[in-house]
Amino acid sequence: MKMYEAILDILEKKGNATIPVICQEMSEQDLSIVSERQDMVEPSYIKTLVSSNNELFLVKDDIVSIRPDKEPVMMTVVLHGYPGPEMRVRIDFKRNTFTYFEWHLDSKASGPLKVGTFGSVDDFKKKLYPLKLWEWEEDYQTEGIVVDGTSWSVKLKTKGKTYESRGLDSFPNQWKEFCKAVSVLVGKKFSC
């Protein structure tokens, strides 16, 4: 686990925290984070780490928080192409739940529902931060006319802002990694 991920984890569980509290939590939480020569993570190191990740963290009066425009609240992902299926995932980060919907254009049912294993919303959320969805362009399109292409949309609502991105046969660089994370969450291949 990277140090900034450990800080995110602490802030997710405790809410806003002071740098000394973060140091204490990190030292108690996982000894693999702390070097063998130290029993405690130094406050100056945490302050430097948080300051260098100022796109994720906000520091005011020695209190660290996740920036409101980077803290996910809700996400909707839609993916479809001809002849189908259309897949929709709605993730509620506050309730720690998700719904998955799949629509097939053919008249035959795909068979009985299969019970499988699915991932956790918390693990999915941790995978979102490095993908930086807030930096994705609003629209991805290929040159020329596209017939029977794959269209997609992602809407990420945070505490401070809503980010929307969509495309037709063109994707952000992190798309495959994003689809893998969605696949793990829903327990089914999210066709990308």
Mean pLDDT of 36-52: 77
**% helix / strand / coil in the chain, to the nearest 5?**
30, 30, 40
Q: Which domains does the chain have, with CATH numbers?
A: 3-66 (no CATH), 72-186 (3.30.1560)
Q: Which of 7-11, 18-22, 26-30, 172-176 has the lowest mean pLDDT?
A: 26-30
What's residue 37's pLDDT?
Answer: 42
- Say what percent of the chain tops pLDDT 70: 88
Instruction: Dump pLDDT digits (tens) for 97-151.
Output: 999 998 877 656 566 666 667 899 999 999 999 999 999 999 999 887 877 788 9
To the nearest whole number, what is the mean pLDDT of the chain?
87
Structure tokens at 116: 């499988």
Q: What is the band of 35 on the pLDDT scale with cuts at 50, 70, 90?
A: very low
Q: Is the pLDDT of residue 85 over 50?
A: yes
What's residue 36's pLDDT?
Answer: 46
Crossing angle (nearest 10°) for helices 3-14 and 43-52 = 90
Q: Which of 25-34, 74-83, 115-124, 147-156 has the lowest mean pLDDT?
A: 25-34
| Nearest alpha-carbon partner for 78 in 3, 156, 177 | 156
CA 84 to mean position of chain CA atoms: 25
Crossing angle (nearest 10°) for helices 175-186 and 121-131 = 180
What's residue 4's pLDDT?
Answer: 83
Q: Is the pLDDT of residue 177 over 80?
A: yes
SS3 label, residue 93: coil
What's residue 184's pLDDT?
Answer: 95
Mean pLDDT of 69-74: 96
Report DSSP state, residue 133. G
